[in-house]
Structures are given as structure tokens and as C-alpha cells.
Amino acid sequence: MKIGIDKMAFATTDQYIDLRELATRRGVDPNKYTIGIGQDRQAVVPPTQDIVTLGATAAAKLLTPALAKRISTIMVATESGIDNSKASAIYVKHLLGLNDFVRTVELKEACYSGTAAIQFARGLVAFNPQETVLVIATDIARYGLNTPGEVTQGAGAVAMLISAHPHVLAIEPTTVAYSKDIMDFWRPLYATEAIVNGKYSTNVYIDFFLQAFTRYQQLTGQTLADFAGLVFHLPFTKMGKKALEGLLGDRTDAVAQRMRQQLHASQVYCRQVGNLYTGSLYLALMSLLQNGQVKAGDRLGLFSYGSGAEGEFYSGIVQEGFTTALNDIAADLKTRHQVSIDQYERFFNGRLGMKSADRQFDLSHDRRPFVLAGQQNHQRIYRRQK
């Protein structure tokens, strides 16, 4: 039985900053951001958007009334949780208007938990092939104004249906998970922004990739030549290049060249949006499928990384009809508008955060389908607008 990703959709906010402008404001050479880090634009999050509204927006793009009825479980993977007890998946389920006979849960392990959700969903579908699981990887990457990590912020959600009739990627049985207790990036309960040991985190990422990929090759007997391309978790686009070059070294043969071209195709959307934490690997997959040289039957390798740290390398076979099973991301990104650095900073400081006071947001500037209207009696108030 094939099990895998049947449909995918991506949603981000409708606003962005140009990172050349941010560089100028921070007194940095813009080439450092666009070439050294490899990012051009960054999603800006107004206080009326959060992981629930972004996740619901992504999911609404892929659900038809018939598909909605088939969903047995919603798993939200995030490290930007809005409550220490209640799962954001329950809010998402409510906003989507799904029936009550649905299992709802939230998962956490930094950027890795989207992959964990997919693997757990595979298990549920293997037990009961009638089930369709909705996996939503949704996050807001925040490091703080004027920090080295600021240029690698971003936001967005990728929603995926996992079923026994995959039209995007049939996941292959061999997967390699690799974990170690490492302090490269973490966010204590009292902090709204992550604490990060940036350079160390990039080295740990590369090491985890090489460990997982080497073991995958030992277990399967496959080599790089068996892959049409590799897809990486992209906290910023240069990170994927660092990892791939760590594997390729000075190779210039046809396989190595193919890997470099496909990496480039997988980076297109990350460059425009930034880090999605849990969703970044899956946005990179969509980017490769829409901008790379990929056909049905090709094998793709996926490397998932979450600080703390956990990595996983697994593979899948691209399915017939994949082009129509994804939303048109390039078209969606064209509808965004640019905001000034001042506006971005106001939004950054204006979000609900960890404050307990009642608050009511002005919704007149947010025409997105789902919005966070405010907070009352310690409860978040969400609205469906369309």
C-alpha cells in the first residue's frame, strides 16, 4: 500500500519587507543578507495573524467539502504555541468548520515536528487506510529586532493531507532519525524569542545531515545517483547550500550538478518568505516540485532538522498528478504588499505575546480569511471573515 502526501497548500501573510532595506537600516552591507545569508524578502506578521490563522488559511486552500468529511485527525506541528495546554489544532478545526468526530493534537520538537507528524500520520493510515490525516506545520520565526538572527525570521504554514492515495509523494519505508541533547537553539517558557547559538547550530545541522544520509545509504544500498534531488529544511537558503556542499565537496560530475540545480529550485520560495520553522522543509519541497526538473516516478530525499536537536532523512517517490495537487505559490506571493521597516517593527512589538490583559485589534486592515480579533478573559478570539 502506498502512503504519503496527497495534497499540499502554503499560506503566509500578505505583507513583507525587502531585506536590502532592512540591511540599510541595520548598517549592514545588503549583499550579506541577499548573498551571504541568501534571503531577499521576509514575511511580516500583523498582530491579527498567528499560527492558528495561518494554519487554517493553508488548510482551507486544500480542503473541498468532500475532503473535509474524510479527515480523521488534525496534527498541528509548531514551536510557536499559543497555549501551554490546549492544542492549536482545536482552534483550527473550529475555524475550518470540521465535524466534531475528529482527533486534534499539537506536536513539538523545534523545526522537526512537521516530519514527526507526517510519520505518525503514516502509522494511522497504515492501521486504517480509510483515514485521511491533516498535518499542518505552522510557525512564526522570531529572533528579535537588531539581532544576527533577524534576517532569518519568517512566517507561514504548510498544510498537507496524508492518505493511502497520495498524489504528491509516496513515502518510502526506510527513514533515519538521529537525535542528541544539544543547546543550539531553544526558547525557555518565559521568552517570546528564541535563544540561539547561530554558528554552532549551522555546524550541528550539517553534521546531523551527514550522519542521517550516510546511515540511509547503508540501510538501503542507494547512492546520491538514485535521487532526482534532495530537499532540505531551509532556515535560510544558504543553509541548504552549506549542507549539500558538505556532502558533495569538490564533485562536479553530472549527479552533483543535478543536485545543485535542484537545490536552487527548492530555495525559490524560502528566499521570498524566510524561515517557517516546522514548514520550511515542506515549502522547499513545494518549491522544487514547482520550479525544478521533477517528473512522476522520481525519488526525492528529504532532510528535516529541528534544533535541540533532531534530524531525519527519508525519501519518497513523486506521484502522477502532483502539479495539480499544490496551490500556485508564485501567484499567491505576487498579491503581497511591501511594508516599511518602521511598520514591520511596530507589528513586531504589537503582537499579543505573553500579555494577559484584554485586547481588541483593529481588523479593518486585515482582509485574510481568518483573523485573531484579540483576547478576552485570557481567551484568544478568532474570526472567520470569508
| Residue entry with cell 499539537 | 106
The DSSP string of 191-250 is: -SS-EE-HHHHHHHHHHHHHHHHHHHHHHH---GGG-SEEEE--SSHHHHHHHHHHHHTT
Output 172 or 207, the one with its CB closest to ligand HMG: 207
What grid cell was written down for 151? 534576517
How far apart are alpha carbons 163 and 269 in whole angstroms?
A: 26
Which one of the listed residues 106, 109, 111, 131 is annotated catalytic? 111
Q: Give the interface size with ligand HMG as a residue count (CB under 6 A).
A: 31
144 in contact with ligand HMG (CB under 6 A) = no
Q: Quick one: which of 157, 122, 161, 134 has its CA closest to 73?
A: 134
The binder of ligand HMG chosen from 36, 81, 350, 369 (CB under 6 A): 36
Active-site residue identified among 79, 109, 310, 312: 79
Nearest Cα residue to 91 out of 52, 135, 136, 138: 52
Q: Which stretch binds ligand HMG (CB under 6 A): 57-65, 201-209, 262-270, 338-346?
A: 201-209
Cβ closer to ligand HMG: 62 or 135? 135
Chain residue at closest Cβ approach to ligand HMG: 36
Interface pattern 165-184 for ligand HMG (x via CB under 6 A): -------------------x
Residue with cell 504548510: 158
Note if 111 is an active site residue: yes
Question: What is the rounded CA–CA span in Å between residue 228 and residue 300?
Answer: 6
Concerning whether 270 is annotated as a catalytic residue, the answer is no
Give the active site residue among 131, 150, 167, 233: 233
Site string for ligand HMG, 98-137 (x = CB under 6 A): ------------xx--------------------------
Side chain identity at residue 78, one-letter code: T
Q: Would residue 165 show up in a list of annotated catalytic residues for this protein?
A: no
Considering the complex, state which of residue 14 and residue 184 has its C-beta at the smaller distance from ligand HMG.
184
Report in angstroms how near the CB of residue 71 gets to ligand HMG at its nearest: 27
Task: Give dist(CA 149, CA 314) in Å, integer.
Answer: 28
Q: Is 147 exposed, middle or buried (0-12, 13-18, 19+ CB in 10 A)?
A: middle
Residue 275 lies near ligand HMG (rule: CB under 6 A): yes
- Range in contact with ligand HMG (rule: CB under 6 A) among 59-67, 82-90, 127-135, 303-311: 303-311
* Closest CA relative to residue 109, chosen from 181, 16, 157, 37: 181
Cell of 49: 495573524
For residues 235 and 292, which CB has a smaller minimum distance to ligand HMG in the complex? 235
- Residues with a known catalytic role: 79, 111, 233
Task: Give the footprint of ligand HMG on this chain (CB under 6 A).
Answer: 29, 31-32, 35-37, 79, 110-111, 148-149, 151-152, 184-185, 196, 198-199, 201-202, 205, 233, 235-236, 238-239, 275, 277, 305-307
